[in-house]
Structure 1
Amino acid sequence: MAEIQQRTAEQIFRVLGELKGGAMKVGQALSIFEAALPDEIAGPYRAALTRLQEAAPPLPAAAVHKVLAEQLGEDWRDLFREFDDRPAAAASIGQVHRAVWSDGREVAVKVQYPGAGAALISDLNQVGRLGRVFGALIPGLDVKPLVTELKARVTEELDYQLEGKSQAQYAEAYAGDPDIAIPSVVAAADRVLVTEWLEGTPLSRIIAQGTREQRDRAGHLLVRFLFSGPARAGLLHADPHPGNFRLLPDGRLGVLDFGAVNRLPDGLPKPIGVALRFALDGDADGVLEVLREEGFVKPTIELPAQELLDYLLPLIEPVMVDEFTFSRAWLRAQAARMGDPRSPAASLALQLNLPPPYLLIYRVTLGAIGVLCQLEARAPYRGELEAWLPGFAD
């Protein structure tokens, strides 16, 4: 099996190496699965993604200036005291430049690549054709729904005005928060977004070489931010990969990139919390009833309630205790349990449904678990859910 996975990984790396934005986008979204990979494959996978990001050719300064003139006006230079033509970072659909705004604030200027949308959809189509290959690498992984959803959200992510509005909504909700930092929006156009600069240590670096204290702090605050967002801002950050978070020198978690959000004006759906509470209380019939009402169990499917509860309990282990330590080993065990076609868990999973309103919530949860397992973070996750997940503490 390991030899097949190694060959499969090499095939995926070859295809990803031919792509740009789409490869980055899918690679980021698949961080959950990277954490579940055997160590001998996870290392090359991470290295391949790093090479991709480093190899992406930057937009030349003249092209950047052209976009800025189109979006901010011919006198765009008057808006800045300083502007660094060298990109500070590259993303899947654009690059970020460091600058100083006219009032002296340090800012990040995100400039979208011309033609980014069409290129990204083309890349995602090619990655979608690798569905079976990903399945050979990690049994049970179906990449096609993920690619379909990413394609559906491309239009939204290309609209920097919309991203600016989402970020401003978050910044207002978390203004003065002692634990979470959201940079203010300074200016927004369709293809240029200017926000305050956040200086901090990227979670990718903390994953690679962070202290135990940094790992636990980052994991704890990541969960707090994701679960409190719907209650406080009416939004769920839908792109929780390590590149979008920083641990600031004062201990706060800085959050970047609000291009992908799930709008939840009424907060997270209460039935999730109710079902989770029933599961913790051992109420198998209660769990089945809620999941059936919400569409996770189709009306025509007959499932033994206790079997459903037995399937769920290992997955909710992180909230069964006051403090839990996520790890790659824990995630690999879950992936093996779900991916083995002979296991009761795998056959039961095939009978469950993922209702459309829960698709993004599910993906964000999976993505967060992937990051937490990479961090190997220990924290009181149950306490955060009791504070922010409706129905869980009732």
Structure 2
Amino acid sequence: MKKQESIPTSKVARATKFIQTGVKVGGNYLKHYAKKLVNPELSKEELHENNAEDIYKTLSQLKGSALKVAQMMSMDKNVLPKAYVDRFTMAQYSAPPLSYPLVVKTFKQYLGKAPTEIFDTFSKDAINAASIGQVHQATLKGKKFAVKIQYPGVSESIKSDLRMVKPFAVRILNMNEKDIDLYMQEVESKLLEEADYDLELKRSIEISKACSHFPDLFFAQYYPEYSCKKILTMDWLEGKHLPEFLKTNPSQEVRNRIGQALWDFYDYQIHTLKAVHADPHPGNFLLTPEGKVGVIDFGCIKEIPQEYYDNYFIVINPYLLKDEATLLQTFKNLGFILPQDTPEQQALFANLFKGMIELLGRPFHQETFDFGDDSYFQEIYHYAENLARMEELRKANQARGSRHGLYINRTYFGLYSILNQLKANIRTTKPEFLSKPIQ
């Protein structure tokens, strides 16, 4: 893959890239509608492919929050055309890496030495390059390390990047601006945290220690002496990312074991720690032939406020779906139903969200669940498509739901997606209160 010698870091340079891409996307639309005059039956498939290629090319050059948004959207397969999902998924694993001289410059600036002055060996080529940073392999006294280096200008450009990404997101996601604004505010706060490697170091140590009792999970040890706010050093873990792992044709037993480990990992974080690894895309896990899971990135952690937790998770309880009064009040507490809604609007949105809860909460309503059932995921995608087409939602002048739900929902969508790709059949462990009648 061609290396990138520099990253535009000034607001003017980055804005220029966005403007140029906007012109390309506009041109793609003009070409599409010109062709449609000749062929009225023409689909948008070619348009989506051209736009996805142009947008991803720009975002991968800019890196940082711009590319991170593409990575996040690639996980939400139910809201993006396939062309965008296919292209943006690359951000999970393989963005164009920075050249070695830029890596050396970062080391000298923040650790005072070149990487070869700290380690016995240091790979000049990145092993992985994603949205916020890239990973190199190093050795010291016979021990292997993974060294993550943040791209220049990432933290400084987050706010302005998201402002420029917004028009693309509005068009691609087909959402109203109020919902996008709520989305972007929460994304901005989490990206600022992800760009803080000192915070990631602290959280990595805390959560990996708290989850060390799970026999099928393994974690890296982290090294503060070789880390700083732009560089993070940890043990090198062996294993395969999900796509490569599935090519080895693992047995159903191994698939189920990995799926169970992931489910139990998230169940414990959410319901016991109240802080969750909220970036469950396949690039953040390493899988072994024996069915063990290595967790390699704690940059995105969502801390769950107790008040939000109490309201959000009670809706998973199947008994609540039969208690209309409590359900309606819970929807109000979560911001799904607003004070200014008319009785007709309350009934409409209560019915919509009740259907969504029944669908997304279905795994919790059973002792075991087969995530290999593709028909279940088709139901989810069709439901999301119907919501996206609803005029009442698209023309709403206020976003519905809490900002806290964005990363919690994203976590579950990411987890469900991985379990679906594994075709895992698991025990859906959950807190006892989610299975008892409402008091």
TM range (shorter): 0.7 to 0.9
Q: Does 1:3 align with 2:43?
A: yes
The aligned counterpart of 1:25 is: 68
CA distance in 2, matches of 1:151, 1:162: 16
Residue 233 of structure 2: SS of its match in structure 1? Answer: strand
Kept after mapping to 1: 8 A contact 2:218/2:295: yes
CA distance in 2, matches of 1:284, 1:352: 23
CA distance in 1, matches of 2:52, 2:268: 36
Kept after mapping to 1: 8 A contact 2:75/2:414: yes
CA distance in 2, matches of 1:347, 1:218: 38
Deviation at 1:51, TM superposition (A): 8.4
CA distance in 2, matches of 1:119, 1:252: 37
Q: Which residue among 406, 411, 420 is the counterpart of 1:364?
A: 411
Structure 1 residues 15, 230: CA separation in 2 closer, same or farther (over 3 Å shift)? same
The aligned counterpart of 2:143 is: 105
1:301-344 deviation line (CA, Å, top 9, x unaligned): 34346675345322322222222233554333323233326989
Q: TM-score, normalised on structure 1? A: 0.81
Matches within 5 A, 1:101-250: 101-102=140-141, 104-118=142-156, 123-135=161-173, 145-187=182-224, 188-206=227-245, 210-211=249-250, 212-250=252-290
Deviation at 1:145, TM superposition (A): 4.3
Aligned residues: 383
Structure 1 residues 226, 5: CA separation in 2 closer, same or farther (over 3 Å shift)? farther
Instruction: Please list every run of 5 or more consecutive structure 1 residues that lacks an aligned counterpart in the other structure.
Output: none
Kept after mapping to 2: 8 A contact 1:163/1:259: yes
1:198-247 deviation line (CA, Å, top 9, x unaligned): 11111233466653444433333222222211455442112111111111
Deviation at 1:176, TM superposition (A): 4.3
1:358-389 deviation line (CA, Å, top 9, x unaligned): 332233223333333444433222x2x236xx
1:9-64 deviation line (CA, Å, top 9, x unaligned): 43233212222124541232123433676xxx6377425643896451x3232322
What amino acid sits opposite 2:54 in the alignment?
A: R
CA distance in 1, matches of 2:95, 2:388: 42
Instruction: Please list every run of 5 or more consecutive structure 2 residues that lacks an aligned counterpart in the other structure.
Output: 1-40
**Between 235-244 and 347-356, the greater mean CA deviation after superposition:** 347-356
- Alpha-carbon RMSD across the aligned residues, in angstroms, is 3.8
CA distance in 2, matches of 1:120, 1:293: 31
The aligned counterpart of 1:392 is: 434
Q: TM-score, normalised on structure 2? A: 0.74
Deviation at 1:139, TM superposition (A): 12
What amino acid sits opposite 2:383 in the alignment?
A: R
Deviation at 1:76, TM superposition (A): 5.8
Percent identity between the two aligned chains: 26
The aligned counterpart of 1:314 is: 359
**Between 247-256 and 112-121, the greater mean CA deviation after superposition:** 112-121
What amino acid sits opposite 1:321 in the alignment?
A: Q
CA distance in 1, matches of 2:232, 2:353: 46
CA distance in 1, matches of 2:108, 2:92: 29
Q: Does 1:335 align with 2:381?
A: yes
Kept after mapping to 2: 8 A contact 1:186/1:194: yes
CA distance in 2, matches of 1:324, 1:349: 37
